[in-house]
């Protein structure tokens, strides 16, 4: 009887932990956002205010998202104007989800042999040789021209005011101070970032007015090009594309190329002129009646869809939120999908063709389920063979045999979970979410050009560091070997979900390889465990390090898992027994930004993690 009573107590405690987040409104550290007319959420409160300013002037969600994107770039919110922009847009007129590919490409001369000749295992993490061509300006102007309603002049106005000078927040100011030794290597960066050279603190102080005259001049040139085109009788769309051409083919492009090459980079004027934003069809899957959309395989986004296909074969709700069984099942499913990501994903514009039809098939997911060990962690989870599910023969079976073997390629297996590895694993990025009463919805995960950034000449534009996401050896990933004109396979991954043909969720987050695993858990928190959007944003998540990092030395930690400090002792003990290598963090939820569409009441719910400075405004 005593044993039965004790077991009942344990089961009650487990159930209480699993269900506790259904009562989170009194415990969430941030209140949910509510709006009837519009919602604007992003990585900085000031940038969310920029979106609100555009909404109050009559702009739609695309206009507002472009204003927030411009503001976050100007604030160096782990990105800048020379980075890359990836977006999903729901068009209420067509009732379709549109994908925006504004990722830069490897420049002329960026070959595997070039980097190997410099003794590198991968392209560098920082500096001019880390840069792909700038994508964010083109992405912003394309979204605005094609789907917005306002002028570039109006949409850039908040960012231009900030470039004139805004009170810099402590997070960015301290990041500049920490990175000042690298910043001093690049003369144009030193001029912008270090206004107190020679003093003990050379970066701006928190609250100091941070001025970017060169960037302001560049933004003024874009507006001048637009206004001149309007005076010549061009319509709004054509005038915005005139500004686009000035950035990529005019005097701005000339200075970007000159300034980059002066500092040892490879980007040429022709590279900039040849680059184009791509408007694409997103990839999708159906999970329990919900259509979930991701960008194509030049991002890690399809791994989210693959994981959902695997998890659809389990009754997750009955397992209980963050129970041992739930964590183990989701972790194993993610590892199988991420192993496929690490080997098969790359730029679809370049051969070989990625086997995406096979990878995203429900039948392939069922084959992957058969590989899952339900008792112990499988530290050797490897890519599968999706080609038979397309009726094809896999041309890379020989590479698969040795995949993940450190002796077979350049793989590094760090031990223990050191601070440098964790920083690289979660590097960069912000997110932008916007929606309006007309039905437009925007989810953006922009990134690149984070501090310490190399600034391109007198443009004020910080260059991307995305080259490091390429590999130099086909043994690691034959689809993602660097070559000129090619886009690297990136971690950047906005998400959108539709239910009953209408927007259900729009969500994204920052932090490198963490993105799709934490976005997955956010999604499951709402769909399987009935959390509100704010509860789901804050609820403790877990993280796997069993995929190869997309940054630095591309390391992985077999069996590595990060748990929240609040995880119960019995779950910790169970996972240790099952072969997991555990470390802990106080906050493991984000930062996730999300919008939930409450069709019953005709309102928006906004959520933003209690992790970082992300927040929003609704009306």
SS (H, E, C) 263-299: CCCCCCHHHHHHCCCEEECCEEEEECCEEEEECCCCE
In this predicted structure, what is the pLDDT of residue 417? 52
Q: Which of 137, 443, 132 is closest to 282 using CA atoms?
A: 443
In this predicted structure, what is the pLDDT of residue 245? 98
* Both structure tokens of 161: 């005011």
Count helices and strands (H / E) in the chain: 23, 19
Q: Which residue has the tokens 């690149």?
A: 448
User: Rounded to an integer, what distance in angstroms lies between the CA atom of residue 275 and that of residue 272?
Assistant: 5
* Both structure tokens of 354: 């990625």
* CA dihedral of residues 397, 308, 23, 18 (deg, nearest 10): -50
Contact indicator for 572, 550 with CB cutoff of 8 Å: no
Q: Which of 388, 264, 404 is closest to 340 using CA atoms?
A: 404
Nearest-5° Cα angle at 42, 40 to 48: 55
User: Rounded to an integer, what distance in angstroms lies between the CA atom of residue 136 and that of residue 151?
Assistant: 17
Q: Which of 66, 26, 71 is closest to 44 using CA atoms?
A: 71
* CA dihedral of residues 170, 180, 425, 276 (deg, nearest 10): 100
C-alpha neighbours within 13 Å on the C-beta side of residue 477:
31
Average pLDDT per block of 10 residues along the chain, 619 residues long: 36 40 59 97 95 98 98 94 98 98 98 97 97 98 98 98 97 95 97 97 98 98 98 98 98 98 98 98 98 98 98 97 97 97 98 97 98 94 97 96 62 51 59 97 96 97 97 96 98 97 95 90 97 95 88 87 92 95 85 96 95 90
Asked, as a colleague might, if the bond just before 615 is cis with ω within 30 of 0, I would say no
Contact indicator for 471, 482 with CB cutoff of 8 Å: yes
Sign of the alpha-carbon torsion through 344, 361, 282, 48: negative
In this predicted structure, what is the pLDDT of residue 9? 32
Question: What is the H or E stretch that residue 616 is in?
Answer: strand 615-618
* CA dihedral of residues 212, 487, 492, 46 (deg, nearest 10): 20
**Main-chain dihedrals φ then ψ at residue 178, nearest 5 degrees:** -65, -35
* Both structure tokens of 259: 């300034």
**Main-chain dihedrals φ then ψ at residue 603, nearest 5 degrees:** -135, 170
**Main-chain dihedrals φ then ψ at residue 597, nearest 5 degrees:** -100, 110
Q: Which residue has the tokens 């987040």?
A: 21
User: Rounded to an integer, what distance in angstroms lies between the CA atom of residue 566 and that of residue 146?
Assistant: 46
In this predicted structure, what is the pLDDT of residue 73? 97
* Both structure tokens of 108: 């002329």
Q: In sequence order, what are the beta bridge partners of 603?
A: 598
How many Cβ atoms sit within 10 Å of the Cβ of residue 451? 25
Q: What is the DSSP letter of 556?
A: -
* Both structure tokens of 221: 């040139």
Contact indicator for 303, 292 with CB cutoff of 8 Å: no
- Look at phi and psi of residue 185 and say left if phi exceeds 0, alpha if psi is from -120 to 50, else beta: alpha
In this predicted structure, what is the pLDDT of residue 133? 98
In this predicted structure, what is the pLDDT of residue 546? 87
C-alpha neighbours within 13 Å on the C-beta side of residue 108:
12
Contact indicator for 389, 361 with CB cutoff of 8 Å: yes
**Main-chain dihedrals φ then ψ at residue 294, nearest 5 degrees:** -140, 165
Across 351-450, where does the E strand assignment appear? 432-436, 441-444
In this predicted structure, what is the pLDDT of residue 577? 96
Q: What is the DSSP letter of 586?
A: S
Q: What's the length of the chain?
A: 619
User: Rounded to an integer, what distance in angstroms lies between the CA atom of residue 372 and that of residue 314?
Assistant: 12
**Main-chain dihedrals φ then ψ at residue 443, nearest 5 degrees:** -130, 120
In this predicted structure, what is the pLDDT of residue 427? 55
User: Rounded to an integer, what distance in angstroms lies between the CA atom of residue 398 and that of residue 541?
Assistant: 37
Q: Which residue has the tokens 């440098």?
A: 420
Coil, strand or helix at 563:
strand
User: Taking the model in full, what pTM does it have?
Assistant: 0.93
User: Rounded to an integer, what distance in angstroms lies between the CA atom of residue 358 and that of residue 335?
Assistant: 18
In this predicted structure, what is the pLDDT of residue 10? 38
Sign of the alpha-carbon torsion through 321, 360, 515, 162: negative
């Amino acid at each position: 009887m005593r044993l039965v009573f004790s077991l009942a107590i344990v089961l009650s405690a487990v159930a209480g932990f699993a269900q506790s987040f259904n009562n989170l409104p009194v415990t969430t550290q941030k209140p949910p956002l509510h709006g009837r007319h519009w919602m604007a959420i992003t990585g900085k409160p000031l940038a969310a205010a920029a979106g609100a300013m555009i909404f109050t002037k009559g702009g739609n969600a695309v206009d507002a998202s472009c204003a927030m994107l411009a503001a976050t770039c100007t604030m160096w919110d782990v990105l800048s104007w020379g980075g890359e922009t990836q977006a999903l847009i729901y068009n209420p007129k067509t009732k379709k989800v549109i994908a925006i590919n504004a990722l830069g490409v490897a420049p002329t001369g960026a070959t595997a042999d070039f980097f190997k000749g410099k003794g590198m295992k991968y392209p560098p993490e920082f500096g001019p040789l880390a840069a792909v061509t700038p994508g964010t300006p083109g992405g912003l102007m394309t979204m605005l021209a094609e789907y917005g309603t306002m002028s570039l002049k109006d949409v850039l106005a908040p960012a231009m005011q900030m470039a004139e000078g805004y009170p810099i927040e402590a997070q960015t100011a301290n990041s500049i101070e920490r990175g000042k030794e690298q910043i001093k290597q690049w003369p144009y960066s030193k001029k912008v970032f270090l206004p107190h050279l020679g003093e003990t603190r050379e970066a701006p102080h928190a609250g100091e007015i941070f001025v970017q005259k060169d960037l302001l001049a560049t933004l003024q040139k874009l507006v001048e090009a637009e206004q001149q085109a309007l005076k010549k009788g061009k319509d709004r769309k054509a005038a915005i594309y005139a500004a686009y051409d000035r950035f990529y083919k005019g005097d701005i492009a000339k200075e970007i190329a000159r300034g980059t090459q002066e500092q040892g980079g490879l980007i040429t004027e022709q590279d900039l002129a040849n680059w184009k934003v791509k408007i694409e069809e997103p990839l999708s899957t159906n999970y329990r009646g919900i259509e979930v959309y991701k960008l194509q395989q030049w991002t890690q986004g399809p791994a989210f869809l693959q994981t959902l296909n695997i998890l659809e074969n389990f009754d997750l709700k009955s397992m209980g939120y963050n129970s041992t069984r739930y964590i183990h099942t989701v972790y194993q499913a993610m590892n199988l999908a991420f192993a496929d990501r690490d080997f098969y994903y790359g730029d679809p514009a370049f051969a070989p063709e990625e086997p995406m039809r096979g990878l995203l098939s429900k039948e392939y997911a069922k084959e992957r389920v058969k590989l899952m060990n339900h008792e112990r962690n499988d530290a050797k989870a490897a890519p599968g063979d999706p080609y038979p599910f397309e009726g094809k023969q896999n041309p890379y079976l020989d590479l698969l045999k040795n995949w993940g073997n450190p002796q077979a390629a350049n793989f590094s297996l760090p031990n223990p979970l050191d601070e440098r590895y964790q920083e690289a694993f979660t590097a960069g990025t912000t997110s932008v979410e916007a929606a309006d009463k007309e039905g437009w919805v925007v989810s953006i995960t922009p990134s690149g050009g984070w501090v310490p950034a190399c600034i391109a000449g007198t443009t004020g534009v910080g260059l991307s560091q995305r080259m490091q996401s390429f590999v130099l050896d086909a043994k690691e990933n034959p689809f993602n070997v660097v070559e000129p004109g090619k886009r690297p396979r990136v971690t950047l991954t906005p998400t959108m979900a539709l239910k009953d043909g209408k927007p259900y969720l729009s969500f994204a987050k920052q932090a490198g390889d963490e993105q799709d695993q934490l976005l997955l858990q956010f999604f499951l928190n709402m769909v399987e465990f009935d959390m509100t959007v704010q509860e789901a944003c804050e609820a403790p998540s877990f993280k796997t390090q069993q995929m190869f990092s997309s940054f630095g030395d591309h390391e992985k930690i077999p069996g590595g898992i990060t748990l929240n400090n609040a995880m119960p002792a019995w779950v910790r003990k169970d996972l240790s027994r099952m072969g997991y290598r555990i470390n802990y963090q106080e906050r493991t939820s984000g930062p996730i930004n999300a919008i939930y569409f409450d069709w019953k009441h005709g309102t928006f719910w906004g959520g933003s993690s209690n992790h970082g400075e992300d927040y929003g405004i609704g009306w």
